Structure 1
Amino acid sequence: MIFSQGVKPLRVYKETAQLLRLGILGKEPPWYQVVASVPPSTILIRTTPVEFDKPPQDNSKAVGKNVKKKSKRFFRPRNIQYPEDDLRKKFFADHPWELARPRILVEDSGNDSLSYDWSKLQQPGRAVDGESVVQRQMWLMEEGNGNLSKSAAYDVARKEFYRLRMRSDIERRIAAEEARSVGAFFGKTHLQIGLELEEKSLLAWKIKAQEAVAKRQQRIEAMANPGSIDADVGDEDGATDPPGLASTPEARTSPVEPSNPQGP
Structure 2
Amino acid sequence: MSPKSRLYTLVKAWKNKPFQEVRDVCGEPWLGLSSEALEEYQSWSKRQAISNEPIFNTQGTKLTGSIFRPLLTAAEPQLLRLFMEGLDTITYWYRSGRFIPGILPIPEKSMASSNFVDALIDLTLNSRLPVGLVNLGIQINEGADYADLSKEGLLRMRRLGVLIHFLNFSGAASHMRWIEEMQPEGIHLELGQFRVNGLPAEINAQIKSFRSPIYASKITLLKDLENATNLGASHCYGGLMMSPVSRHQMLHISDSRIAKAIFSLHPHKNHNGDK
* TM band (smaller chain): under 0.3
Could you say which structure has the larger radius of gyration? 1
Pick the structure with more strand per residue: 2
TM-score, normalised relative to structure 1? 0.17
Pick the structure with more helix per residue: 1
Instruction: Report which structure shows greater RCO (CA 8 Å, sep ≥6).
Output: 2
